[in-house]
Amino acid sequence: MLPFNTIEEATTFLRRNLTVAETLWFNYSAQKSDYYLYCHNILFLFLIFTFVPLPLVFVETMRSLGFLKYKIQPKVKTSLSEMFRCYKDVMRMFVLLVGPLQLSSYPSIKMIGIRTGLPLPSMWEILAQLTVYFMIEDYTNYWIHRFLHGKWGYENIHRVHHEYSAPIGFAAPYAHWLEVLILGIPTFLGPAIVPGHMITFWLWIALRQIEAIETHSGYDFPWTPTKYIPFYGGADYHDYHHYVGQQSQSNFASVFTYCDYIYGTDKGYRYHKKVLRKLKVQSRIYGTQNGGSYYASTQDLKSE
């Protein structure tokens, strides 16, 4: 709740007029508690998990419209009932774990210093903090992900997420309950180290989930804006990781690719791309097709 009763009081405190954004924020948040504002995350997550994957559902079910050429594993088709079952499983986890966890974690948000007052952060401040959050989450998630691909971690926890060897948008948050808890640590670590405004925190939670859905989309669309982000992995990069499954010691990164490159855990993927390029050249020379499959040699790729 803002410590001002009127815009005039806020203007006096800031010693300047409020910006349009600050006026809108004042009108919305002045009489609302910080806890109420924090709980908006639950609504945002529900809306994101429900509506952001819907275009991908349409694309998957309406293959006759020409989207199949962008499908990374074109031989795999996920039915509408399978996607709806995945959504129900995700919502069950949301109701039983994610929602209560959000409601109960507010004291930690207050402790680290996420603020709700005025002034609002500048656009540059928001972008800088979001960049830091993504970098911290990506690096921490990388090592947790590698641990989960060990024998114990995979068999007891991570195998649930890999039930979808050809990922779909709804499966981005589909995981064992313990994995959901563990991977919450990298998500909150950035805001804990570099605390900012509640609006920045909202944006961070929303963008991280949207990024995960895009990464698990199963489609490599050429018009995706994230293709212009340096070192960004994307759907093509992460799809390979799901395809190889338990044996995968490649492409652990959640967002960027630099950790995989530095620690040498992208060798299988680079070999895979090399094979594809060779097959495409042969296809142009001999006029042949690679059997309609994105992945060339399953045995060779899985052995890397």
State pLDDT tens for residues 123-134.
Answer: 999 999 999 999
Per-residue pLDDT, 287? 64
pTM for this prediction: 0.89
Burial tier of 260 (Cβ tally within 10 Å: 0-12, 13-18, 19+)? buried
Q: Which two tokens stand for residue 195?
A: 């605390």
Q: Is the pLDDT of residue 298 over 50?
A: no
pLDDT at residue 238 tops 50: yes
* 301 has pLDDT over 70: no
DSSP string, 77-142: ---HHHHHHHHHHHHHHIIIIIHHHHHHTHHHHHHHT-B--SSPPPHHHHHHHHHHHHHHHHHHHH
The length of the chain in residues reads: 304
Q: Which of 72-76, 212-216, 266-270 is predicted with the least confidence, judged by mean pLDDT?
A: 266-270
**Average pLDDT value for residue range 227-234:** 92
- Per-residue pLDDT tens digits for 134-151: 999 999 999 999 999 999
Q: Is it the case that residue 264 has pLDDT exceeding 80?
A: yes
Residue 176: pLDDT band (50, 70, 90) is very high
Distance separating alpha carbons of residues 256 and 233, to the nearest angstrom: 5
Contact predicate 169/52, CB 8 Å:
yes
Cis check for the bond before 119: say yes or no (omega within 30 of 0): yes
Closest to 216 measured CA to CA, from 185, 231, 237: 237
